[in-house]
Structure 1
């Protein structure tokens, strides 16, 4: 089984990818991170069959609808959330299959009325959303939250799992990635040890937390499973057919660049001797060694697409990152560099600079 834990820094949200037999699930995808998630799915050779949200989030917008538009994946959310755009309204005891594996749905209301925990078929992993965080839990003061329901849910449905079961939360604000049932039973200051429902209720009712900053935007959007209220943005650049790598770099294939060659700026970031070696260089390319790029960016037009090139695509990937950080919005790296270009028999020049 393939398992990846991904992170959105803006909302401190964890997204989880599970894969088996060429099929994948994404738990709690984030709208802005959809291009990243699609790149990872492509690189791992996985087909997304479903997105699962643990609840209707108040601090970020789900990527469920956006992923369905791109991949045809099904959207699965708690039936209690009463959200639109849902393909699979989940209830306690349901199973979500991927490859030869499955997750079992456990209803864990209390943070919101529609919170779910997803448990892997062998009880080795569970994805708790905000119902149980690492040494903490989600708040209970909005979206039909209830400290009494959350206390009962966590103890009956999460802390009843085997002690060795690893628990993966929806968020962590300190950079901690995983905990276990045994740890939370012993050390969770809100729900572990000898804490009873009265202790827990008294604590939760006196947190006096401000509402999440994005709540007014996120909750209505998530009740539509992330479908925009208006025209949806495109995931892909429109100036050329590009592929986003999981590293965050957009790549252009050699044949696509050949078709666009007259319309784009090409910056070759190799050293001068390489520019005229046996690989040659692209027609119209400007030689700017990577070590000099930062100081020579003013020579390029930020309004026109720019493609970075090197021998293998490694140095030019770094150049793409530097150009993007400098405000160039239409940037791509030549996939495979001059090695791929020559391997595909495309024309190159070897004239001196």
Structure 2
């Protein structure tokens, strides 16, 4: 199985990518709206097809990317029927089996943080994605949005702690740099519900917590009840000057075919060394200006500002750094030629 744990440092949210190595269909759990480009780039680079996105609950601290990913990839959306969110294709009930080719999951109803909380258990019970119900050495709060400490204790102690001790726990959040735990660990060491705590212990602990109101709840919750659909139903604006593709490394790139048909609309910047240019003089017709990468910062003023800039080099690696330097210096319409001159000379 292909498995990736992704992180949004703004909301401390984990997004999980699962895919079968043979079938190549992928599922994303708890995707974040602002990280959709990153997720799509990773899926493309791994040669996968995004077939399903699933939210563990209606989040109060960030907006889900479910609807946006559906628009971009045609994937389906899954979430608990109890949420009643719009644009959902697979409304999940307790015990329901779902997933993608080669990846089977079971939906386990685990309310208490919210009524619509679901945990997703891998079919072989080696992994469980617990959302905000069970965190590493903690749990979700129960003081708003249909929260109930009594329900939360039952969900954790009777549903999740009934799983094998070896089952790995992957939560929706962690605020201290921890990435995974296990059912056995949490039963023994969870600060709120582990170590033999009973319902009274847990409920009194949760009642004593005085947490601030979630900062983004007024924005996030209504949006998440629309599965992340924007208020006007329109997609976020994208760069319109070129067919830009963002890599998983965060580099804006264009393909050599697009460049070939739009040479007169951009400034092509070659950041190779002088000796490299002399070795391949045939590329001179493609290039508008040559500035070696190590000189770019000091010679930035030589670049015209009236056109977008496409940086190139031999492989596309140095031109990616050139894009960063250009952005640092106020150039907004910039891109790297994907795979550099290798993409052109191999044709």
TM, length-normalised to structure 1 = 0.93
- Greater shift in the superposed pair: 279-288 or 327-336: 279-288
1:320 aligns with 323
Question: Could you give the per-residue CA deviations for residues 309-336 of structure 1, whole angstroms, max 9, x where no partner exists?
Answer: 1111111112123323444322211112
Asked if the contact 1:303–1:328 (Cα under 8 Å) also holds between the matched residues in 2, the reply is: no
Distance 2:189 2:155 in 1: 18
Tell me what 1:9 maps to: 9
Counterpart selection for 2:289 from 286, 291, 297: 286
**2:307 maps to which residue?**
304
Change (3 A) 1:132 1:298: farther
The answer to which of 282-291 and 260-269 deviates more is: 282-291
Distance 1:9 1:261, change over 3 A: same
Give the corresponding residue for 2:29: 27
Please give the root-mean-square deviation of Cα atoms over the aligned residues, in Å: 1.6
CA distance in structure 2 between the aligned counterparts of 1:300 and 1:106, rounded to whole angstroms: 58
For the residues of structure 2 that align with 1:231 and 1:102, how far apart are their CA atoms? 32
Distance 1:19 1:281 in 2: 44
Provide the C-alpha distance between the structure 2 equivalents of 1:72 and 1:209, rounded to a whole number of angstroms.
39
Residue 108 of structure 2, aligned match among 106, 109, 112 = 106
Q: Which moved more, 1:322-331 or 1:237-246?
A: 322-331
* Secondary structure of 1:340 counterpart: helix
Picking from 199, 202, 205, the partner of 2:204 is 202
Aligned-partner SS, 1:17: strand
Pairwise CA distance, 1:133? 0.6
Unmatched tracts of structure 2, length 5 or more: none
Cα distance in 2 for residues equivalent to 1:148 and 1:278: 72
1:243 aligned to which of 239, 242, 245:
245
Distance 2:300 2:209 in 1: 51
Q: Distance in 2 between matches of 1:75 and 1:318?
A: 37
- Gap change, CA 1:234 and 1:275, over 3 Å in 2: farther
Residues 269 and 308, structure 1, Cα contact 8 Å, conserved in 2: yes
The equivalent of 1:347 in structure 2 is none
5 Å-filtered alignment, 1:21-100, equals 21-100=23-102
| Alpha carbons 2:57, 2:118 under 8 Å: kept | yes
TM-superposed deviation, 1:342: 2.6
Shift in Å at residue 135 of structure 1? Answer: 0.5
1:252-309 deviation digits (Å, cap 9, x = unpaired)? 1112111111111222111122222225335342112111222333433556321111
The whole-number CA distance in structure 2 between the counterparts of 1:289 and 1:179 is 48
Structure 1 segments unaligned to the other structure (5+ residues): 345-353
CA distance in 1, matches of 2:157, 2:328: 47
Deviation (angstroms), 1:216: 0.6
Q: Aligned-pair distance for 1:232? A: 2.4
Native 8 Å contact 1:35 1:235 kept in 2: no
Q: Deviations over 1:208-246 (max 9, x none)?
A: 111111111000000000000015234642211222211
Secondary structure at the aligned position of 2:222 is classed as helix
SS at the partner of 2:138? coil
Measured against aligned partners, the alpha-carbon deviations of 1:175-223 in whole angstroms (never above 9, x if no partner) come to 1110011110111110101211111111111211111111110000000
Other structure's SS at 1:191 match = coil
Tell me the SS of whatever aligns to 1:168.
Answer: strand
CA gap of 1:311–1:136, structure 2 versus 1, over 3 A, is same
**Residue 179 (str. 1) matches residue 181 (str. 2):** yes
Aligned length: 344
Question: Kindly tell me: are residues 326 and 53 of structure 1, through their superposed partners in 2, closer, same or farther at Cα, counting changes over 3 Å?
Answer: farther
CA-to-aligned-CA distance 1:127-150 (integer Å, 9 cap, x gap): 001101111111101110000100
